[in-house]
C-alpha cells in the first residue's frame, strides 16, 4: 500500500467525521438560535396586540396567514402567563405537516379575559437550516475533491526526489551504471535518504573494486611461483642422464603443479563469474561455437573410437558473454569425452533453444544429484578436478539458463535451456 | 633471432632465457618498466615477451610506446593476471599473442616461433628439418619431396615438435597445445596421435625423429 493511501485511509474518515459532527452541531445551534429568534418575534407580536388593546380597547382582528396566525379564545380557566410551545399542523393545501412556534398569553378586553394565541411558522427557519446544511455538504464534497487533487498533483511532485532516488538505485549496476544521479531537494528526509544512498553506492563500488583486484592479485601471486616451479621442472627434465627415480619425481612434481595451477584457475573463474566480471554480452551463435569445438575435439574422440552424432541447426543466437559461452560449450564437450568409454557415442542436439549433450559412460555408482557440486566426481581419476560441471552450472545460473543432468537409458544427459536471444 | 624478456621475476626470466638460448635465440632480459622502455628504444627484437605487472609501470604502457615508435617487434604478452580485460586490451594495442602463466616452455617457444614466422612473412614460410619440410602457408608436409597427408591435429603436433626440436616435450604440454588447458592429463589420446604421425612419416619414406623419453614425454631429434 502506498504511503499516501495509508495516510488517506486515516485522514479522510477523520475529516469526514469531523465535518459531519460539526454540521450536526451547527444544525442544532442554528436551529436553536432561529427558534429563539421566532420566540422573540412572538413576544414582539404580543406587545403589538397589547398595545392595540390599550389604544382601541378592542381585540385586534384575527389573522390567518401562512406564516403568522393570531386568534383569541375566551378563557375559562384562570389567566396564565406566557406559554411557549411548538405545534405541528397538517396543511391540507400543501399536503405536508408544518411546524409552528406558538405563544399563548392572556389578554383582557371589554372586561373579558381571552387567551391570545400567536403562531409563527417555522418554515422559514427550516429552509434556512436546510440551506446551511446543503452548503456544509457542498463544502465537504469540495474539500475532499480539492484534497484528492492536491494529493495527486502536489504530493506527486513532493515525492519526486524520493521516486528518482529509488529509480536510480534500481538502475544501479556494478558493471554498467555504477554512479547514481540524485535530485537536489530541500526536504530534510529526502536529503538524508540521498546522502545515505550516495554513501552506500560509493562503498559498494570501492568494495567491489577491492574484491576484483584481490581476486586478480591472488591469481597473480599464486600463478607466478607456480610458473617458476613449472619452468624449473621443465628445464630440469631436459637434463641428460636422469635416473628413473629422478624422472618419476619430476613427473609427480609436474603433475601436482599442473593440478594446483588448474585448480587455482578454475576457482578464480568461478569467483569471477560469481562477481559478474564477465558483464559484456553479445549475441553469440551457440551453434557455431559448438561446431567449432566439436571440430577441435573430433580427432580426440576418434582416438577413443567415440562416435559423435550431431543434430545442430545453423543458428542459435543467445545473448551472453562470448568467453563464457566458449567455456560452457567446451566444458560440456570435454566432460562427454572424458567420461566416455572406448567405442562409445556422444549425441549433440539443439532443439527449442535447448542444447542436449548425452554420452555413454560408466554407470554412476553414487547418486547423480550432486554432480554439479564442486569437487564431486564419480571416479577418483586424477585428471579431473570435479569443477567442470559446477562451472557449467555457475554460468547457466548467471544468465538464468536451465541446466540439468540425468542418467537415462544408460546415457549421461546434460542439457542447457537457453533463454531466447531474440 | 633476438628476444627481449621483460619480466620482473628473475627466476622465471632466467629459466625462459635458458630454454630459448638452447633454441638458438639470443635473449636479453629487462627486470622492470624503465629497463624495458630503455631496451625497446635502443634495440630491435624479433619478439618481445612482455609481462603486464611490472615494477614501475604497466607492461601495456611499453606496448603503447612500441606502437608510438612504429616498431614492428613481435609482442607476446605473458601474464599471471589471467584477466580478460588485460588480454583484450593487450591484443587491441597490437600484441601478437597472449599466454597466461604458468605455461610450458615448449608452448612459449612454439608461440614465439609462430609470431616470428608471421612477422617475417616474406615468402619464407618453409620450415625444414633434414628430409622434412613444412609449408606453414598451405599447411602441407613433404618428406623427401613426397607429400604426406596429415590430419589437423597431426599437423599441429608435427609443427609443435619441429618448433621445439631436440628438446624434451612433456605429454602434458602436448595435450595442452592440441586441445587447450582442460584436456591435459589425458595421455592416451596423445599416444594414438603420435603413433599415427610416426607411421605416416615412415610410410612416406621419412626417418623416425620422434623419440619417447621414458616417463617424461617425447623428443624430436635426428640423434
The residues near A70 (Cβ < 8 Å, ≥ 6 apart) are A45, A49, A60, A62, A63, A116, A117, A118, A119
What distance lies between CA A412 and its chain's CA centroid? 42
Helices (H), A86-187: 123-150, 156-158, 160-171
Q: What is the largest CA-CA distance in chain A?
A: 165
- Retrieve residue A157's grid coordinates: 511532485
Q: How many domains is chain B partitioned into structurally?
A: 2
Q: Could B16 and A231 be called an inter-chain contact, meaning their C-beta atoms sit closer than 8 Å?
A: yes
- Is the CB of residue B21 less than 8 Å away from at least one CB of chain A? no
The strand pairing partners of B90, in sequence order, are none
Q: Which of B119, B152, B183 is the last residue of a domain?
A: B119
Cβ atoms < 10 Å from Cβ of A375: 11
Of A151, A170, A45, A173, nearest to A103 by C-alpha is A45
Per residue in A5-15, pLDDT (tens digit) is 788 788 888 88
Residues in chain A: 422
One domain for residues B11 and B110:
yes
- Is the CB of residue A344 less than 8 Å away from at least one CB of chain B? no
- Is the separation of the CB atoms in A274 and A394 below 8 Å? yes
Residues of chain B with pLDDT under 50: 123
Q: Could A304 and B188 be called an inter-chain contact, meaning their C-beta atoms sit closer than 8 Å?
A: yes
Helices (H), A304-387: 322-338
- Is the separation of the CB atoms in B135 and B121 below 8 Å? no
One domain for residues B78 and B167:
no
CB-closest option in B180, B188, B215 to A251: B215
Q: Give the pLDDT score at B179.
A: 82
- Is the separation of the CB atoms in B220 and B206 below 8 Å? no
Strands of B74-79's sheet in order across: B26-30, B2-6, B47-50, B74-79, B97-100
Q: Could A247 and B180 be called an inter-chain contact, meaning their C-beta atoms sit closer than 8 Å?
A: no
Q: In B, which residues are within 8 Å of A338 by CB distance?
A: 186
One domain for residues B92 and B13:
yes
Q: Which of B119, B149, B172 is the last residue of a domain?
A: B119
Q: Give the pLDDT score at B159.
A: 92
Tell me the shortest Cα–Cα distance from B113 to chain A, in angstroms: 18
Q: Are strands A96-109 and A112-121 parallel, antiparallel or unpaired?
A: antiparallel
Tell me the shortest Cα–Cα distance from B24 to chain A, in angstroms: 16
Q: Could A257 and B102 be called an inter-chain contact, meaning their C-beta atoms sit closer than 8 Å?
A: yes
Tell me the shortest Cα–Cα distance from A153 to chain B, in angstroms: 49
One domain for residues B113 and B138:
no
Cis bond leading into B121, ω under 30°? no
Q: Give the pLDDT score at B28.
A: 94
Reduced DSSP (H G I as helix, E B as strand, rest coil) percent helix, strand, coil of chain A, to 5: 55, 20, 25
One domain for residues B112 and B133:
no
- Picking from A246, A257, A300 by the largest number of B CB atoms within 10 A of its own CB, the best residue to mutate is A300
One domain for residues B109 and B130:
no
One domain for residues B67 and B105:
yes
Q: Which of B90, B119, B148 is the last residue of a domain?
A: B119
Q: Give the pLDDT score at B39.
A: 93
Tell me the shortest Cα–Cα distance from B70 to chain A, in angstroms: 31
- Is the CB of residue B129 less than 8 Å away from at least one CB of chain A? no
CB-closest option in B19, B106, B172 to A258: B172
Domain of B215, in residue numbers: 126-220
One domain for residues B202 and B142:
yes
One domain for residues B23 and B109:
yes
The residues near A263 (Cβ < 8 Å, ≥ 6 apart) are A385, A387
* CA distances for B65 relative to B7, B70, B96, angstroms: 17, 9, 15
Phi, psi of A317 (to 5 degrees): -90, 130
Residue of B nearest to A212 (CA): B83
Q: What is d(CA A357, CA A293) in angstroms, rounded to the nearest whole number?
A: 13
Q: Could A230 and B178 be called an inter-chain contact, meaning their C-beta atoms sit closer than 8 Å?
A: no
One domain for residues B144 and B91:
no
CATH number, domain with residue B193: 1.10.10.10
- Is the separation of the CB atoms in A359 and A365 below 8 Å? no
Average pLDDT, consecutive stretches of 10 residues, N- to C-terminus, chain A (422 residues): 79 85 86 88 88 84 81 74 82 79 84 84 81 84 85 80 88 75 85 91 88 76 88 88 86 87 83 79 91 88 88 90 90 88 92 91 69 59 66 88 87 85 42
Residues in chain B: 223
Per residue in A351-379, pLDDT (tens digit) is 888 999 999 988 777 665 566 766 565 55
Q: What is d(CA A119, CA B10) in angstroms, rounded to the nearest whole number?
A: 124
Tell me the whole-structure pTM to 2 decimals: 0.65
Q: Could B80 and A219 be called an inter-chain contact, meaning their C-beta atoms sit closer than 8 Å?
A: yes
On the CB side of B76, how many CA atoms lie within 13 Å of its CA?
25
One domain for residues B115 and B173:
no
- Retrieve residue A72's grid coordinates: 383569541
Tell me the shortest Cα–Cα distance from A383 to chain B, in angstroms: 5
CATH number, domain with residue B99: 3.40.50.2300
Amino acid at each position: 500500500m502506498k504511503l499516501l493511501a495509508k495516510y488517506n485511509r486515516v485522514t479522510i474518515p477523520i475529516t469526514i467525521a469531523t465535518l459531519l459532527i460539526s454540521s450536526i452541531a451547527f444544525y442544532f445551534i442554528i436551529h436553536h438560535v432561529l427558534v429563539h429568534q421566532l420566540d422573540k418575534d412572538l413576544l414582539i407580536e404580543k406587545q403589538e396586540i397589547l398595545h392595540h388593546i390599550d389604544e382601541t380597547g378592542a381585540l385586534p382582528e384575527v389573522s390567518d396567514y401562512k406564516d403568522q396566525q393570531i386568534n383569541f379564545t375566551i378563557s375559562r380557566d384562570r389567566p396564565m402567563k406566557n406559554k411557549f410551545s411548538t405545534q405541528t399542523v397538517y396543511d391540507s393545501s400543501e399536503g405536508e405537516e408544518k411546524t409552528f412556534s406558538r405563544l399563548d398569553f392572556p389578554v383582557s378586553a371589554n372586561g373579558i379575559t381571552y387567551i391570545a394565541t400567536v403562531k409563527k411558522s417555522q418554515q422559514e427557519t427550516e429552509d434556512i437550516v436546510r440551506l446551511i446544511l446543503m452548503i456544509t455538504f457542498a463544502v465537504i464534497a469540495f474539500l475532499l475533491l480539492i484534497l484528492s487533487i492536491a494529493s495527486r498533483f502536489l504530493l506527486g511532485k513532493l515525492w519526486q526526489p524520493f521516486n528518482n532516488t529509488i529509480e536510480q538505485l534500481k538502475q544501479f549496476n556494478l558493471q554498467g551504471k555504477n554512479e547514481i544521479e540524485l535530485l537536489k531537494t530541500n526536504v530534510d528526509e529526502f536529503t538524508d535518504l540521498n546522502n545515505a544512498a550516495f554513501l552506500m553506492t560509493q562503498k559498494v563500488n570501492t568494495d567491489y573494486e577491492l574484491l576484483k583486484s584481490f581476486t586478480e592479485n591472488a591469481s597473480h601471486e599464486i600463478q607466478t611461483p607456480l610458473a617458476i616451479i613449472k619452468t624449473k621442472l621443465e628445464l630440469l627434465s631436459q637434463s641428460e642422464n636422469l635416473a628413473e627415480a629422478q624422472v618419476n619425481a619430476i613427473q609427480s612434481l609436474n603433475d601436482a603443479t599442473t593440478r594446483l595451477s588448474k585448480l587455482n584457475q578454475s576457482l578464480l573463474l568461478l569467483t569471477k563469474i560469481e562477481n559478474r566480471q564477465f558483464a559484456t554480452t553479445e549475441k553469440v551463435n551457440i551453434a557455431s561455437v559448438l561446431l567449432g569445438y566439436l571440430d577441435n575435439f573430433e580427432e580426440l574422440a576418434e582416438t577413443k573410437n567415440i562416435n559423435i552424432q550431431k543434430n545442430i541447426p545453423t543458428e542459435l543466437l543467445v545473448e551472453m558473454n562470448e568467453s563464457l559461452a566458449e567455456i560452457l560449450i567446451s566444458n560440456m564437450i570435454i566432460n562427454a569425452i572424458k567420461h566416455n568409454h572406448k567405442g562409445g557415442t556422444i549425441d549433440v542436439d539443439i532443439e527449442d533453444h535447448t542444447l542436449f549433450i548425452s554420452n555413454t559412460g560408466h554407470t554412476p555408482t553414487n547418486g547423480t544429484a550432486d554432480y554439479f557440486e564442486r569437487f564431486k566426481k564419480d571416479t577418483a581419476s586424477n585428471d579431473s578436478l570435479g569443477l567442470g560441471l559446477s562451472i557449467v552450472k555457475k554460468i547457466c545460473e548467471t544468465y538464468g539458463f536451465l541446466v540439468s543432468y540425468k542418467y537415462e537409458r544408460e546415457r549421461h544427459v546434460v542439457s542447457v535451456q537457453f533463454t531466447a536471444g531474440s | 633471432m633476438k628476444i627481449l624478456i621483460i619480466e620482473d621475476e628473475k627466476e622465471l626470466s632466467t629459466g625462459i632465457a635458458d630454454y630459448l638460448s638452447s633454441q638458438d635465440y639470443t635473449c636479453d632480459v629487462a627486470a622492470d618498466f624503465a629497463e624495458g622502455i630503455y631496451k625497446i628504444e635502443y634495440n630491435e627484437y624479433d619478439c618481445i615477451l612482455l609481462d603486464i605487472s611490472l615494477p614501475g609501470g604497466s607492461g601495456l604502457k611499453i606496448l603503447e610506446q612500441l606502437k608510438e615508435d612504429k616498431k614492428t617487434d613481435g609482442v607476446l604478452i605473458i601474464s599471471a593476471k589471467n584477466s580478460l580485460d588485460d588480454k583484450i586490451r593487450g591484443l587491441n594495442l597490437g600484441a601478437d599473442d597472449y599466454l597466461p602463466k604458468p605455461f610450458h616452455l615448449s608452448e612459449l617457444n612454439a608461440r614465439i616461433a609462430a609470431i616470428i614466422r608471421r612477422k617475417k612473412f616474406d615468402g619464407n614460410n618453409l620450415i625444414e628439418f633434414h628430409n622434412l619440410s613444412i609449408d606453414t602457408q598451405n599447411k602441407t608436409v613433404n618428406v623427401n619431396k613426397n607429400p604426406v597427408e596429415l590430419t589437423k591435429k597431426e599437423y599441429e603436433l608435427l609443427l609443435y615438435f619441429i618448433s621445439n626440436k631436440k628438446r624434451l616435450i612433456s605429454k602434458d604440454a602436448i595435450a595442452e597445445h592440441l586441445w587447450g588447458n582442460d584436456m591435459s592429463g589425458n595421455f592416451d589420446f596423445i599416444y594414438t596421435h603420435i603413433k599415427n604421425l610416426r607411421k605416416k612419416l615412415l610410410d612416406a619414406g621419412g626417418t623416425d625423429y620422434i623419440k619417447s623419453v621414458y616417463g617424461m614425454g617425447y623428443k624430436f631429434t635426428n640423434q
